[in-house]
A and B are shown apart, each in its own frame.
Chain A
Amino acid sequence: MSEHGPLSFNVPEPMGRPGDEPDFSYLDVPRAGTVRKPPVDVDHQDIRDLARTMIRVLNRDGDAVGEWADPVEDETILHALRSMIRTRAFDERMMTLQRQGKTSFYMKCTGEEAIAIGQQLALAPGDMNFPTYRQQGLLLCQDYPLVDMISQILSNANDPLRGRQLPVMYSSKKHGFFSISGNLGTQYVHAVGWAMASAIKGDTKIATAWIGDGSTAESDFHAALVNASVYKPPVVLNVVNNQWAISSFQGIAGGDSATFAERAHGFGIPSLRVDGNDWIAVYNVSRWAIERARRNLGPTLIEWVTYRVAPHSTSDDPARYRPRKESDAWPLGDPVLRLKNHLIKRGLWSEDRHVQAEAEYAQEVKAATKKAESFGVMGGGSTARDIFDDVYKDMPPHLREQRQKLGV
């Protein structure tokens, strides 16, 4: 006879399911401005507490407060707000495009716009992002042509990726945007390797790695962290915790046992946990981590706490696994509204300008969509010849033979 009772098996459950009231009581949200800002050369041991709290700058009144409220140039902050509005307009339009049957698939980043746009604006030309499929803001806050981006989504004759990739899997070396793969977590290791290369060559460029909360469970998350820990390359390791991996809440990825930021501690990597819907916090924390990397002080892991407002993709229906109004109850609010209020308070923006900007970007995206559609929709305008190029640098005989068989 065992002296112990029977074992029980633990399967975490989210706070709410369809029909329940939204409940974010698991999330501890400190007041803006209360978390200290350490020097960039801080020892990771001395900021272990920063992985459990949350760095926040914008308070309820729209003021930027506390040690992380470093001044941001007006031009940069205006560009950020505009880019966030533009990204939201883009997402809305592309969703419509999918509903109209002009593309097979789309993924929005609604509610997460501040993160990609905040970090990209803190980077320098030549730095390289290794994004997931939900960092379209990285391209949309740069000069990447909208028509090309939409053409990729439409897989048409103007698609820079020649119709080979699922919509939203963009690639642009010129814009520091690494080719997106459907395989989760793989690019987290590439970012570390790219940063190692930069260090080996004595360069000054840095890499940024991007991963979601769910994908931190992938082996490559660990592979990236152990290599970042060992070689201390100039990389910013971003974890975008939007609470949901398709239908699995972040507890299924281990988020109930520890914060994602805390995972860095076992590797001796400094880590911070940040309000991902607070653009000023995103920008200033990114600047801090980027400066650390640039000054050869090694990697930093940042957990961005945010909420996936949109469905996972156009193939998903969140009403089947989470409370319908959950996004409304999200305690960190809407990143666009929060930055808007801040800028209005600073006299840099107004309600009118906001409405005007929304209309302007909706119009811009509409015009770009029209132009992109002229190159074809749903694979229209693509050519079968493009199947066989770029498998190798030079086409080997067996592929030439197969291309002839197809008769192209």
Chain B
Amino acid sequence: MAEMNMVEAIRDAMDIKMAQDRDVVVFGEDVGYFGGVFRCTAGLQEKYGKDRVFDAPINESGIVGVGIGMATYGLRPCVEVQFADYIYPAYDQIVSEAARLRYRSAGDFTAPITIRTPCGGGIFGGQTHSQSPEALFTHVSGLKTIIPSNPYDAKGLLIAAIEDDDPVVFFEPKRLYNGPFDGHHDRPSKSWAGHPWGDVPQGHYIVPIGKAAIRREGAAVTILAYGTMVYVAEAAVAETGIDAEIIDLRTLLPLDIETIVTSVQKTGRCMIVHEATLTSGFGAELAAQVQERCFYHLEAPIARVTGWDTPYPHAQEWDYFPGPKRVGKALVAMMEEI
């Protein structure tokens, strides 16, 4: 085992896959020589050479489109889009090409590509360095969508994503790169040092795609969260004393519906927490599925605590970010429902 932050865990995952499989290539803007604006690819070009780790022109549809072309040749590209907020120029390539290639060619061509992209707010990133566009990808048939919440999962899930034969959009909550964050922005930042999930096995392992993790067992309410919101939920639970079961979804699609249903049927209540905006966010899908499958077990309406339906603001960061106070208040309100 080794102590790693999320950046190191992600780098280690790519390092391990590149060493194991000569078909794995890594590229994106500033990914090569410089090692990435978040250091996720630091040292990889020096170790594996410029033909396997390289800088790309600032052109997201090119990065993903070129990656798809390489994947159809037989490589396993792991490409980076510098911020999830900048993935939209590549949207056509992801939605119309990567996601549909296997289907439309009846398996004749496939696109085993991994698209890494830092997401989420809580860093004063303003409108274009804070977004959580996961719902735009979970809505697309043919894609897998992953959001890890800690170094252990980040490494295991990224290795699984690179090995997966389907295209994967891999969101990395940049607020969690250096340490867990529970939304208490007024307290000193924590690092992953000493955190149990910052203790990462050396070498190859995978965290299976499509499996959620129960972060805290509880009986009163089920909280469905992912990414940074896992820690916000933990803080809200600790502060309200409500015995909630916290599920870290890890993979949004395919969704681990069994774990969710088992939990909600046990607790009778369900709260969904995400940073992304409310309307048509992934929470809506979760709420619909829980409502359909757990209707007779529900003792209260399903609640959603999310970002507001506005672009992500700069100055008003902490009024926008769904912090422990807002989650806690909603939890208390939910427990008061008969």
Instruction: Give me the interface of A with B, judged by CB distance under 8 Å.
Output: 128, 130, 160-162, 164-165, 169, 171-173, 178-179, 181-183, 186, 189-201, 207, 219-220, 222-224, 226-227, 230, 390-393, 396-398
Contacts and interface: CB of A to CB of B under 8 A. Distances in A.
Given A183-B97, A219-B61, A198 B73 contact: yes
B62 A171 contact: no
B106 A189 contact: no
B69 A179 contact: no
B162 to A, nearest CB: 14
B65 to A, nearest CB: 3
Interface string B247-268: 0000001110100000000000
A171 B166 contact: no
Contact of A396 (B59, B66, B67, B210): B210
Nearest to A205: B73
Contacts of B35: none
Contact of A393 (B51, B108, B166): B166
B96 interface: yes
B104 A161 contact: yes
Given A189-B61, A190-B97, A198-B73, A164 B106 contact: yes
B325 interface: no
B141 interface: yes
Contact of B106 (A160, A194, A223, A393): A160
Contacts of B69: 130, 189-197, 207
Contact of A173 (B59, B97, B100, B108): B108
Contact of A226 (B52, B62, B257): B62
Contacts of B210: 396
A189 B65 contact: yes
B59 A223 contact: yes
Contacts of B311: none
16 contacts: A161-B104, A161-B105, A164-B106, A179-B105, A179-B108, A181-B97, A190-B97, A193-B68, A194-B70, A200-B51, A223-B59, A230-B57, A391-B102, A391-B103, A393-B110, A396-B210
Interface residues of B, number: 45
Contact of B52 (A198, A200, A230): A200
A183 B98 CA distance: 12
Given A192-B66, A227-B66, A179 B104 contact: yes
A391 B98 CA distance: 11
Contacts of A397: 254, 257
Contacts of A223: 59, 61-62, 65
Nearest to A159: B106
Given A161-B105, A201-B73, 16 more contacts: A160-B106, A165-B104, A173-B109, A179-B109, A186-B92, A190-B65, A197-B74, A200-B25, A200-B70, A201-B75, A220-B92, A223-B62, A224-B62, A227-B62, A390-B102, A392-B254
A192 B59 CA distance: 14
Contacts of B109: 171, 173, 178-179
A116 to B, nearest CB: 19
B165 interface: yes
B89 A219 contact: yes
A22 B106 CA distance: 44
Interface string B93-134: 100110011111111111000000000000000000000000
A391 B141 contact: yes
Contacts of B104: 161, 164-165, 169, 171, 179, 181
A219 B88 CA distance: 13
Contacts of A128: 72-73
